[in-house]
Amino acid sequence: MACDAQSLSAVGLALSRPPGVAYAAPMDPEPGDRTLMLRYRDGDNAAFETLYRRHNDALYRYLLRLCQHRHSAEDIFQDVWGKIINARGSYRPTAKFATFLYRVAHNCFIDHVRRNKRHANSVPLDTDCHADSSEQPEILTERALARRRLDSALKSLPDEQRDVFLLREEAGLSLEEIAAVTGSSRETTKSRLRYAVNKLRAAIDEPTRAS
């Protein structure tokens, strides 16, 4: 009888437990980039605005750091989005949209460099725009110096290494995606990224070593 009671209670517990149903995933409130681009291709302008707001700042920073020239970056920025708009008819969602976007941006930058030979007359970018006043002045000074050193080291990097580093930092692309964007192999990309990071790290650590 006790056994029966135990078995019944076990059955009751089993029944009271939620059944092991594989619930359908909740509906994604934010559609993916590819979906948005396909919607825009079909005439949904709001989808493009969402897509644009999602990527515009990162792309702008990528171009700004890559060109080191604000006006050129703005020109290329417009050019890139213009090409994305024009190519919406032939857009195929075979790859990540970010890869597509940054590939276009990379090509536009290459075209720009070829046209202008060298992107000279760089306008120095403000590197101290996010100083936190609540920190100690020494720390603030040290961090400001580190930013300046990083900025100058970034400028002194070869274009390929800077491109790879920025694609990593701004676009958040993986090595394979960066390789696809730059048209190089994964190993080359990895090597360029390693060189870039090592140089930037050395630039940041420079005063520490000196002291």
Q: Which residues bind another protein (CB under 8 A)?
A: 40, 43-45, 48-49, 52, 56-57, 59-61, 64-65, 74, 77-78, 80-92, 100, 103-104, 107-108, 125-127, 129-130, 143, 146-147, 150-151, 154, 169, 172, 174-175, 183, 190, 193-194, 197, 200-201, 204-205
CB of 186 to another protein, least distance (A): 10
Give pairs for 127-131: CB < 8 Å, separation 24+: 127/151
Q: How far is the CB of 115 from another protein (least distance, A)?
A: 13
Which residue in 93, 94, 200 sits closest to 147, CA to CA?
200
Whole-number minimum distance, CB 119 to another protein, in Å? 17
In terms of CB distance, is 19 or 89 closer to another protein?
A: 89
Long-range contacts of 158-162 (CB under 8 A, 24+ apart): 159/66, 159/113, 160/184, 160/192, 161/192, 161/193, 161/195, 161/196, 161/199, 162/65, 162/66, 162/196
Minimum CB separation from another protein for residue 192, in Å?
11
3-state secondary structure of 83: helix
